[in-house]
Amino acid sequence: MTQKKSKMVKNIPARGEIVDKEMIPLLFCFKDKKKKEKKAYASLKIAESEEERKVGLSKTERLGPASGMFFTKAGSFWMPPEMRFPLDIVFIDKHGTVIEKKAMPLDNGRGRYQSFEPGVEYAVELPLGFCDKHNIVNGDILSLE
C-alpha cells in the first residue's frame, strides 16, 4: 500500500518567512467550506511534543506575514512576557474546520486563551490580523497543501 507523503517546503511561497531555521514549515491552506475556494496560505511549524507546545513561538524573533505554528493538541495558551509580537489563535476540529478564533495581544503573561467549544482538537497561531485580512471565519477549512 502506498502512503501519500506531506510536501515539505524550504522556501516559503506564502510570502512568509522561515519561523525557525532548524525546522522546515509545512504549507497549509485556508479554504471557504461552502465555495471550496482558497482564501490564504500559511507556512506553519508543527508543535508536536509537550516541550514544543510549551515554548510555542515565544523564542521567535519575528514572524513573517504568513507564518506561524500548528499545535497538534489544543489546550491553554498564554503570551509569556518575552513574547515579541501579538497573535491570532485559531481553534480547529479533527476535520480541519475552524471552530473559533481569538486575538492574543501582548499581555505580559496575564491572559489565558483557550476554546471551550466542543470538538476542538488543534490550534494555529498566526500574526495578529491574519484572520481579518484574509476573512478567515468559523466553518472555513484548514488543510495541508
Indicate whether 12 pLDDT > 70.
no
Q: How many CA atoms lie within 13 A of 48 on its CB side?
A: 3
Fold for 26-144, please state it: Jelly Rolls (2.60.120)
Domain boundaries, the chain: 26-144
CA dist., res. 101 & res. 99, Å (int): 7
Indicate whether 3 pLDDT > 80.
no
- Digit-coded pLDDT (tens) for 80-136: 888 889 999 999 999 999 999 999 999 887 888 999 999 999 999 999 999 999 999
Amino acid at 38: K
The cell numbers describing 53, all together, are 507546545
Taking alpha carbons only, the member of 17, 115, 98, 30 closest to residue 57 is 17
Taking alpha carbons only, the member of 107, 83, 96, 95 closest to residue 136 is 96
